[in-house]
Structure 1
Amino acid sequence: MIDYEVRETNRQYWDGAADNWFGVTALPEYGVLCVTEDELHLFGDVTGKRMLEICCGSGHSLVYQAQHGAGELWGLDISESQLRNAKRHLASNGVTAHLICSPMEDECGIPAGYFDFVYSIYGLGWTTDLPHTFRRLASYLKPGGTLIFSWNHPLYGRVGCVQVEDGKLVVQKSYFDQSDTRLQLDDGEMLLRNYRLSDYLNALADAGFVLEKLVEQTDRATLAATEGLTDKMRQAQMFPLSFIVKARKGVR
């Protein structure tokens, strides 16, 4: 069930903090200290493909797709401030995209059965209704179309269950705790839910997707590092901080 109060709190946060996140976590990067698209090649050849980005933010991943030959580009974001930044960034790079301001859970005029790719780089976890959102995304794709997304690993982050304390990894709460966590950041407030990996995979299956790839891999440089290690790097050497999914819409 969509939680409208949580969604509105997060929309207000992104409207106020958009400039602080300009260009942060965008392709070829998928997330925190994890392998990149330059290594994974999950998209393959996107020449001429119709592509929709969910939670497009400042538009940096849309520019990346345009530079790799993508055809028609669309971007969706809940924040007007994010989309203003995206319009500016797209224009400065000579890229055209259809941008829509709407929550990802809502019907907003995006054409059905139209896209070769729907993707989201560190954005999809903001949904308050995972099964509903995956069904919505499936409706946008052509039969056989591809969904690619990344997000915080459920073990990591401000709502994850493993933290570093005095140089040790400490399980601070149950992996099964999915209650919303209220966070203060950038003089604003956000609410985050800690979905389990099984929540993502089961919701994908229920929406008619077939899993092609699940990536839980820290980048090689971090794994090999022995000096100047931060708490985040120590975590990443022990477990993934991000995960990436590639799935295909089933042909029915």
Structure 2
Amino acid sequence: MIVDILKQNKDSWDKVAHHFNGIDALPSFGPFTQSEEELNLFGHPTNQKVLDIGCGSGHSLLYMAEKGASELWGVDLSETQIEQAKETLKDFAAQLYCAPMEQDIGLPKVYFDTVYSIYAIGWTTDLKSTFELIYSYLKPGGNFIFSWDHPLYVHLKSQDGQIFLDGSYQDEGSITYARFKGEEAPVTIPKRKMNTYINELIKAGFTIECVIESDVSTNFDSIKEEVSDRYYSLYKARRFPTTLIIKAKKMNELTGVHLNNFS
């Protein structure tokens, strides 16, 4: 079943990838969400080895390259996305792989300073294995940062400006959509509660540094709000966070403390 979902999602992402060229990429964490310039979660990535999970068109890696990262690595399910990422990163030496994030494809272990995922981690069909793999890729003291739809956001519907809860947040599982980005491209997206993400991080060995239910970016302060029933809208974002952002750290496995406590 998981293999079937991965193949379906891969085929559909290959078809719709052109809609996402440069979208949902650093310094943005998601729709209307505070940016890296506002949150400063990555600090100074100069000389860091970084791995992008769900690297898409490569624009987040380009951002990291321009911030001085020493090595750029990326994984994405879509061949079309990987080809676009190669074009985006043509002036840099980037290691890019077309593969599911759930699978061990031989990426180096205990190697990366930072692993991150911008609006991609929620696609995984196996959250436990994905977080365990990410933990294995990181050096002790390394950071894992990801953003995704706020888990309650999928249940928020808007009608004539009235926002209400639709369906059950308590029920986890998956949702299949027959069309994606207006095209005949069926996708299946897992539906998880916030505590599932947090608890699986803890089980994988991570220490949670911060959990952010993002405010609207100050970049939108001057934009007049209009009532909108669209899935993502400034109207909704000013009333409920579109995006969940979590920063976690891999502890020093020998001492159980952060390495940077002694730096």
Report the TM range for the smaller structure's normalisation. Answer: over 0.9
Specify the alignment match of 1:80 in structure 2: 79
Q: Distance in 2 between matches of 1:86 and 1:226?
A: 34
Once the two structures are superposed, residues 197-236 of structure 1 have per-residue CA deviations (whole angstroms, 9 ceiling, x without a partner) of 1010000000000010111122244578654343322221
Q: Distance in 2 between matches of 1:131 and 1:29?
A: 26
**How many angstroms does 1:68 deviate by?**
0.3
Once the two structures are superposed, residues 102-127 of structure 1 have per-residue CA deviations (whole angstroms, 9 ceiling, x without a partner) of 10011102001000000001010000
1:177 aligns with 2:171: yes
Q: Which runs of 5+ in 1 are unaligned?
A: none
Q: Distance in 2 between matches of 1:218 and 1:41?
A: 14
Specify the alignment match of 2:95 in structure 1: 98
Q: TM-score, normalised by structure 2?
A: 0.89
- 1:105-124 equivalences under 5 Å are 105-124=102-121
1:61 partner letter: S
For the residue of structure 1 that corresponds to 2:173, the secondary structure is: coil
**How many angstroms does 1:239 deviate by?**
1.1
Once the two structures are superposed, residues 186-205 of structure 1 have per-residue CA deviations (whole angstroms, 9 ceiling, x without a partner) of 22111111111101000000
Specify the alignment match of 1:9 in structure 2: 8
Q: Distance in 2 between matches of 1:106 and 1:57?
A: 17
**How many angstroms does 1:95 deviate by?**
1.7
Q: Distance in 2 between matches of 1:199 and 1:59?
A: 28
Q: Distance in 1 between matches of 2:205 and 2:80?
A: 33
Asked whether the 8 Å contact 1:223–1:236 carries over to 2, the reply is no
- 1:1-252 equivalences under 5 Å are 3-91=2-90, 94-156=91-153, 160-183=154-177, 184-185=179-180, 186-221=183-218, 222=220, 227-231=225-229, 232-252=233-253
Asked whether the 8 Å contact 1:223–1:237 carries over to 2, the reply is no
Asked whether the 8 Å contact 1:47–1:69 carries over to 2, the reply is yes
1:239 partner letter: F
RMSD: 1.5
1:106 partner letter: Q
Q: Distance in 2 between matches of 1:56 and 1:134?
A: 16
Asked whether the 8 Å contact 2:225–2:234 carries over to 1, the reply is no
Q: TM-score, normalised by structure 1?
A: 0.93
For the residue of structure 2 that corresponds to 1:188, the secondary structure is: coil
2:143 partner letter: T
Task: Give the number of equivalent residue pairs.
Answer: 246
For the residue of structure 1 that corresponds to 2:122, the secondary structure is: helix
For the residue of structure 2 that corresponds to 1:180, the secondary structure is: strand
Q: Which moved more, 1:29-38 or 1:178-187?
A: 178-187
Once the two structures are superposed, residues 133-181 of structure 1 have per-residue CA deviations (whole angstroms, 9 ceiling, x without a partner) of 100100000111100000001122xxx1111022211211110122211
For the residue of structure 2 that corresponds to 1:57, the secondary structure is: coil
1:179 partner letter: G
Q: Distance in 2 between matches of 1:127 and 1:47?
A: 29
Asked whether the 8 Å contact 2:216–2:241 carries over to 1, the reply is no
For the residue of structure 1 that corresponds to 2:88, the secondary structure is: helix
Q: Distance in 2 between matches of 1:226 and 1:111?
A: 48
Q: Which runs of 5+ in 2 are unaligned?
A: 254-263
Q: Distance in 1 between matches of 2:19 and 2:226?
A: 26
1:146 partner letter: N
For the residue of structure 1 that corresponds to 2:191, the secondary structure is: coil
**How many angstroms does 1:131 deviate by?**
1.2
Give percent identity, aligned residues only.
41
2:20 partner letter: W
Asked whether the 8 Å contact 1:55–1:78 carries over to 2, the reply is yes
Asked whether the 8 Å contact 2:173–2:192 carries over to 1, the reply is no
